[in-house]
């Protein structure tokens, strides 16, 4: 998962960390006794079975990290617009606007403006 901060059209910085899919994959592949499971949004206060413990825990950890970063940045830089992209972004769309094709739309715009050619 990549979190970028862009202010006034300029890249300021960000973070790279494990996304929800990779967290679940690491647990199911690396921890003994945890079966493979399909990624989905599980919102629980306390997990009471393996599926809820793995998916709910990974979801909550990721959501709290995202909210924490947004809070930190908004305290420092003011109100921000949040755009989520990528596969896991849909699971967190309540935090902002979900735009799964943003990278492709950006490339299309650059090509239209003849900044570079798509071949």
> Do 45 and 75 belong to one domain?
yes
Better-predicted residue by pLDDT, 14 or 116: 14
In a domain, residue 50? The reply is yes
Our count of domains for the chain comes to 2
Closest CA to 14 of 1, 25, 27: 1
> Do 76 and 89 belong to one domain?
no
pLDDT of 40 > 80? The answer is yes
Return phi, psi of residue 2, to 5°: -115, 130
pLDDT of 31 > 60? The answer is yes
CB-CB neighbours of 39 under 10 Å: 19
In a domain, residue 3? The reply is no
Domain limits at 43?
Answer: 19-80
pTM confidence score: 0.82
> Do 70 and 90 belong to one domain?
no
Better-predicted residue by pLDDT, 10 or 54: 54
């Amino acid at each position: 998962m990549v979190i970028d901060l862009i202010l006034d059209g300029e890249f300021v910085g960000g973070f790279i960390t494990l996304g929800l899919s990779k967290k679940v994959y690491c647990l199911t592949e690396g921890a003994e006794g945890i079966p493979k499971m399909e990624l989905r949004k599980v919102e629980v206060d306390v997990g009471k079975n393996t599926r809820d413990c793995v998916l709910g825990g990974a979801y909550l950890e990721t959501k709290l990290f995202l909210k924490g970063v947004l809070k930190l940045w908004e305290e420092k830089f003011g109100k921000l617009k949040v755009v989520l992209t990528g596969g896991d972004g849909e699971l967190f769309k309540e935090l902002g606007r979900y735009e799964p094709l943003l990278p492709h739309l950006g490339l299309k715009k650059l090509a239209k403006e003849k900044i570079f050619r798509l071949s």
